[in-house]
């Protein structure tokens, strides 16, 4: 029964599953990142300061840290689809609360529920790709999910900023709530055809193991730490990019959203940069990408002095960041098939702990010292990740080459 199901799965690309996971991550990424250009409007509505509203980004990240270890094991014990549906339900409820909030505390509650939802959905989505998608399609589906973050930057964030500027910021959250309903319907439909695959899994597969066992897998601690350094540098810069651009240029959050779109276009180049990295070597490419990011983050705050330089800088930032995310997720997902779900949960935890620390710590820095000082700190954190990537390349490059050869046989 299990063999027949696997053969049947290999014959067809899992369109609905890929669409559901991609749209789900797109919705979560858009709702998470759109706060940056909306901060001035939110501060005005709730009669508060920008740095206080930026804590809603930290709240989102904190609840992701809670949601991943709390809810991801449900997918291991029962079914991945159940965990996805719980996450989507919480996302819809939290987003509706944000849209209807009349005070700052209610808005923070909505953000907390949305973060809890992302903590359940995102790592489970990565685990579903590793568990349910055959190898010949796995790269494509993982690429779609990674690209959904760029789509969130290219379309989700600018669209949310445009709607917030043209209508009201509340409409941005109403649209994301409707998107969550659409993804939930797709997951429910997909779950109808997965019962037989789940039955085969219960009959023949081993338990997924513990979080501690997953963390002890070779290469995982090093590359989880690199993920944390990279994402802290990114979120520390990105959280206040929209506000900084609004101060430099006239036009409000609409103009800021257009500049962020340039970054998103660069991020969408992961399809091409990923192919080049395959030929050049994943770990070697990661070293180069982290080096470029370390320099770029320190220089980016000075780029608005030249509009072409700003556009080029944002584009390169997007290309290098997308390449780094793709490489790290690929390297970590290949570390262990048995512990893949837990490893990707750690990947998500590291990324979103960076949301919490990056936005919270850089808020007071931005208010007191300006965006250039934020850039220096974020560049230093990214530089630590670069040093670790050099260490990982020197220690594990032979192991990584052998693993890639084995996976492609």
At 154 the pLDDT is 66
Whole-angstrom distance, CA of residue 64 vs CA of residue 115: 5
Residues 385-405 have pLDDT tens digits of 999 999 999 888 765 555 555
Whole-angstrom distance, CA of residue 290 vs CA of residue 387: 9
Helices 340-369 and 55-77: angle between axes, nearest 10 degrees:
180
Tens-binned pLDDT, residue by residue, of the chain (409 aa)? 344 443 344 446 677 788 888 888 888 888 877 777 788 888 888 888 877 777 787 788 778 778 877 787 777 667 778 888 999 999 999 999 999 988 888 998 999 999 889 888 888 887 777 667 765 566 567 667 777 766 776 677 777 777 777 778 888 889 889 989 999 998 888 777 554 444 444 444 455 567 777 788 888 999 999 999 999 999 888 888 878 888 877 765 566 777 777 887 887 776 666 666 666 778 888 999 999 999 999 999 988 888 888 889 999 998 898 888 878 877 887 777 677 767 877 887 788 778 778 877 888 888 888 899 999 999 999 999 999 999 999 888 765 555 555 444 4
At 5 the pLDDT is 41
Whole-angstrom distance, CA of residue 272 vs CA of residue 52: 39
At 382 the pLDDT is 96
Question: Domains in the chain, ordered, with CATH?
Answer: 12-407 (1.20.1250.20)
At 291 the pLDDT is 96
Residues 233-292 have pLDDT tens digits of 998 888 888 788 888 777 655 667 777 778 878 877 766 666 666 667 788 889 999 999
The runs of H, that is alpha helices, within 46-194 are: 50-53, 55-77, 80-100, 104-132, 135-151, 157-166, 169-192
At 204 the pLDDT is 44
Q: Return the closest-CA partner of residue 62 out of 391, 352, 307.
A: 352
Could you tell me the pTM of the whole model?
Answer: 0.70
Report CA 79 to chain centroid distance, whole Å.
23
Q: Is-contact 274 88, C-beta < 8 A? A: no
Whole-angstrom distance, CA of residue 377 vs CA of residue 358: 10
At 298 the pLDDT is 93
Whole-angstrom distance, CA of residue 298 vs CA of residue 318: 15
Whole-angstrom distance, CA of residue 245 vs CA of residue 247: 5
């Amino acid at each position: 029964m299990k063999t027949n199901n696997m053969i049947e799965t290999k014959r067809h690309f899992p369109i609905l599953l890929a669409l559901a996971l991609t749209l789900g991550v797109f919705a979560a990424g858009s709702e998470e990142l759109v706060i940056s250009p909306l901060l001035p409007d939110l501060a005005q509505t709730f009669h508060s300061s920008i740095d206080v509203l930026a804590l809603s980004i930290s709240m989102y990240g904190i609840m992701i840290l809670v949601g991943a270890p709390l809810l991801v094991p449900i997918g291991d014990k029962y079914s991945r689809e159940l965990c996805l549906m719980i996450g989507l339900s919480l996302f819809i409820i939290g987003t509706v609360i944000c849209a209807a909030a009349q005070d700052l505390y209610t808005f923070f509650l909505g953000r907390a529920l949305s973060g809890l939802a992302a903590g359940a959905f995102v790592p489970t989505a990565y685990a579903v790709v590793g568990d349910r998608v055959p190898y010949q399609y796995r790269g494509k589906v993982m690429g779609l999910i990674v690209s959904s973050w760029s789509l969130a930057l290219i379309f989700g964030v600018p669209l949310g900023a445009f709607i917030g500027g043209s209508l009201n910021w509340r409409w941005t959250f109403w649209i994301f709530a409707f998107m969550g309903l659409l993804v939930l319907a797709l997951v429910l439909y997909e779950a109808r055809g997965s019962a037989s695959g789940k039955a085969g899994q219960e009959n023949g597969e081993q338990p997924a193991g513990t979080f501690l066992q997953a963390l002890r897998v070779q290469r995982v601690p090093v590359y989880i730490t690199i993920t944390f350094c990279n994402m802290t540098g990114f979120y520390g810069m990105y959280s206040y990019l929209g506000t900084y651009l609004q101060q430099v240029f006239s036009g409000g959050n609409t103009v800021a959203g257009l500049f962020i779109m340039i970054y998103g276009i660069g991020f969408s180049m992961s399809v091409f940069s990923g192919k080049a990295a395959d030929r050049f070597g994943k770990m070697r490419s990661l070293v180069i990408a982290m080096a470029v990011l370390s320099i770029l983050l320190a220089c980016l705050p000075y780029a608005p002095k030249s509009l072409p330089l700003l556009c080029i800088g944002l584009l390169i930032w997007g290309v290098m960041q997308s390449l780094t995310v793709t490489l790290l997720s690929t390297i970590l997902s290949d570390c262990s098939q048995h512990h893949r779900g837990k490893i990707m949960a750690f990947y998500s935890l590291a990324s979103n702990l960076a949301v919490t620390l990056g936005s919270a710590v850089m808020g007071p820095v931005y208010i007191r010292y300006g965006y250039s000082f934020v850039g220096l700190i974020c560049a230093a954190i990214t530089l630590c990740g670069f040093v670790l990537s050099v260490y990982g390349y020197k220690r594990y490059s032979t192991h990584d080459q052998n693993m890639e050869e084995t996976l492609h046989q």
